Amino acid sequence: MIHNRTMIEARPAPSGTIGPIAWLRANLFSGPINSIFTLLGLYLLYVLLMPTIQWALINADWIGTSREDCSRTGACWVFINARIGQFIYGLYPGSEIWRVNLTFVTFAALIAWLAIPRLPFKHWVAAVALLGFPLFAYFLLYGGHFGLDVVETHRWGGLMLTLVLAVVGMVAALPIGVLLALGRRSHMPIVKSFCVVFIEFWRGVPLITVLFMASVMLPLFMPTGVSVDRLVRALIGITLFQSAYMAEVVRGGLQAIPRGQEEAAAALGMNYWKRMGLIVLPQALKMMIPGIVNTFISLFKDTTLVMIIGLFDLLGIVQAALSDSRWLGFSLEGYIFAGLMFWIFCFSMSRYSQYLERKLHTGHKR
Amino acid sequence: MSEQASISQTGTETSMVEMRGVNKWYGDFHVLRDIDLTVSRGERIVICGPSGSGKSTLIRCINHLEEHQQGEIVVGGMPLTQDVKRIEQIRRRVGMVFQHFNLFPHLTVLENCCLAPMWVQKKPRREAEARAMQYLERVRIAEQAKKYPGQLSGGQQQRVAIARSLCMHPEVMLFDEPTSALDPEMIKEVLDVMVELAQEGMTMLCVTHEMGFAKTVADRVIFMDQGQIIEENAPEPFFNHPQSERTQLFLSQILGH
């Protein structure tokens, strides 16, 4: 058989197979039945979406201070406007709100620094974010030092409280979860059974129960005169609960790493912590990103449960505002606002995790 | 057993690895049976045998990736005990190359080679990198230093794995079927590196079916079957006049085609 010996030049794809029109034709109008369904779908979208847009945007009231300004037929965002301070800061004293803002801004700056790949000194910034920032935030938000007035935690609320609960829960639960997962895979019987019992116990109880126990039962066991702040109790409960979930996510990731990786590290003379810290965990964490973020997202939304122990997170404070007699009847607006806020945070986390996954992929799957 | 006593005890500076009466079981399955093996410094040994005969298990016992239940293993004058520190000490002196390379996929080739010198031997980065480049040069892959293992071919990966081991300056190298996961056209590039290493006087134990390699470099060929050492001899008599029937059968099977 004789083959063509001259090289074939690259030719452009036939016209009509690339570009937006071709995409439309291939995906939406590839035949009479598909075309009908596409048109039907567009019509349904129009029927469903138009009234929503009308209500939420076009016929809505945006400006004003009281319910008298809600004259039109659409949504009345005046309610959110009037209460936005409370929704974000809870009952934090108005003159001290700059402290919350400063904490927010610092936090956002640290996160942004870590998230943007071009910026240098990542290690130092990470150290500051993990070690320095919690102290900074504590002194700033709670006060009592450096001439700042103490703001008791029962005045904390709204978005600020939600973020405190979620961030502390996430940051504390991850390392505990990693340790628990390693412990569960350990060959040491006592370490292993402790971790198994711990994980199974916390995973087996609903978060509501945990919070309730932390709030009601814990003080009974405390010696008289010792009282732990309600927020701290909730934080401990959430952290322990989340670390059990995190442990199982981490364990899943650890199991996905071939045994040969640890063997190769061992054969080079590395001890257990180096094998884990340098070889196994970095690879496993990369695989765990979707699971970890999933857990974070569910934690972020679960923080709303602190309502039942009398802490007013974002949703709690919106609900409290709904029962204000001056603003009765605006529950839809309130819930939409709360939902939107939660969605923005959760969606950002999700997008960032997808970006991370792409970035960390070094193409090792052959 | 104190360190001093244990090191002087064997005293025979020439023997690199000694196994005496080593037995190992997986549950009820007796994988290694009364293994006695002495490897001198600079000696090249090829271990062959049918699959499941315990060849890999044998060399994996030397750096305690597998645990033996009976008998004694001494590496470079240091008895292998249960002590974690002792095991790590021995592993630092013993290099190992695996069938499936086991490179660290999240690190570049250079980082793969620098990791252990930096974290185990506490070498400064500059020194570790210089050493890594030197060995990568030797396995002829220095130009790929910045790539990730996933971007290399199997043969290239295995050469990196050899360089990674050499970076620890091991006194003995264990090869666990280093070419059996490779495509045929890549086997030679790995074998060439191994031959050079052998010619430089490295003590080597190779589990392999590459009989050409055995004939070229081995000082001794060991045939294992059902967890036992059946026959050991210099390559020439081993291949030309195998003593035991099982060796003859095995050789006829792998050399027959």
Whether A279 and B148 lie within 8 Å, measured CB to CB: no
Q: Which residues in chain B have Cβ-Cβ distances shorter than 8 Å to A274? A: 119-120
Whether A265 and B103 lie within 8 Å, measured CB to CB: no
Distance from CA of A182 to the nearest CA of B (A): 18
Chain B contact residues (CB < 8 Å to A): 63, 65, 84, 88-89, 91-92, 94-96, 98, 100, 102-106, 115-116, 119-120, 148-151, 161, 164-165, 168
Interchain CB contact of A365 with B (< 8 Å)? yes
Q: Which of B89, B102, B150 sits opposite A264 (nearest CB)?
A: B102
- Residue B54 CB neighbour total at 10 angstroms: 24
Whether A268 and B94 lie within 8 Å, measured CB to CB: no
Reading the block at residue A178, the tokens are 């990693």
Whether A363 and B150 lie within 8 Å, measured CB to CB: yes
Q: Note down pLDDT in tens along chain A; length 366 residues.
A: 566 677 888 888 777 777 788 888 888 888 888 889 989 999 999 999 888 887 877 777 777 777 777 776 777 777 777 778 778 887 777 777 788 788 888 888 888 887 777 777 777 878 777 777 877 777 777 777 777 777 777 778 788 888 888 888 888 888 999 999 999 988 888 999 999 999 999 888 888 888 888 877 777 777 766 667 788 888 888 898 999 999 999 999 999 999 999 999 999 999 999 999 999 998 988 888 888 888 888 888 888 888 888 788 888 888 887 787 777 777 787 888 888 888 998 998 888 888 888 877 765 543
Alpha-carbon distance of B81 to B1, in angstroms, equals 10
pTM of the model: 0.80
Q: What is the pLDDT of residues B188-202, one digit of tens each?
A: 999 999 999 999 999
A343 close to A243: Cβ distance less than 8 angstroms: no
Mapped onto helix, strand or coil, the DSSP state of residue B203 is: strand
**ipTM here:** 0.89
Q: What is the pLDDT of residues A36-51, one digit of tens each?
A: 998 999 999 999 988 8
